[in-house]
Amino acid sequence: MILVLMGVSGIGKTTIGRLIAARTGWIFEDADDYHSDANRAKMASGTPLTDADRLPWLRTLHDRMAEHLAAGRSAVLACSALRAMAREQLQRDLPAGSMRFALLHAPAALIAERIHARQHQYMNPNLLPSQLATLEEPEDAWRVSVEGTPEQAVEQILAHLCAIGAWDRTQERSSQ
């Protein structure tokens, strides 16, 4: 199983993804680690990426996820995946049902507050409005509120994973 935590910058994808990986024992991958230097420079300057900028990055992410599945490993991928085209690239030719998307959401004002309170190496806070405008909400994604604590969002996601039989709470790793 590949779980993609999707949403705009500052929504908590990395924080929540690491917590899920710690509890499930799944591999955690942060899509930000796979951006090219050119994409990072563009975002740092406050310039939104184009589909042409994103395509090689999405192909790399797809290949990483395919490797995990081929090796029988489950993974959590923190990836914006704002557009339908991005999600299609991520799951193209993967076995049906092997990738699930969880859309992390919160009011724009709360996201902006969180973005300004954090340090990120290249994600310019001024990109939030363009990201919100770019978001094409998928109909088949789990909608997960991140208005509360990260642990509350993790509980929502783990409940979804249990409900589809992708994970069993008896497999949970100690949070200690």
pLDDT per position as a tens digit, 133-174:
999 999 999 999 999 999 999 999 999 999 999 999 998 987
**Domain hosting residue 53, numbered range:** 2-171
Q: Is 100 part of a structural domain of the chain?
A: yes
Provide the CATH number for the domain around residue 36: 3.40.50.300
> What is the number of domains present in the chain?
1
| Residue 166 confidence (pLDDT) | 95
Per-residue three-class SS string for the chain = CEEEEECCCCCCHHHHHHHHHHHHCCEEEEHHHHCCHHHHHHHHCCCCCCHHHHHHHHHHHHHHHHHHHHCCCCEEEECCCCCHHHHHHHHCCCCCCCEEEEEEECCHHHHHHHHHHCCCCCCCHHHHHHHHHHCCCCCCCEEEECCCCHHHHHHHHHHHHHHCCCCCHHHCCCCC
Tens-digit pLDDT profile for residues 17-64: 999 999 999 999 999 999 999 999 998 888 888 999 999 999 999 999
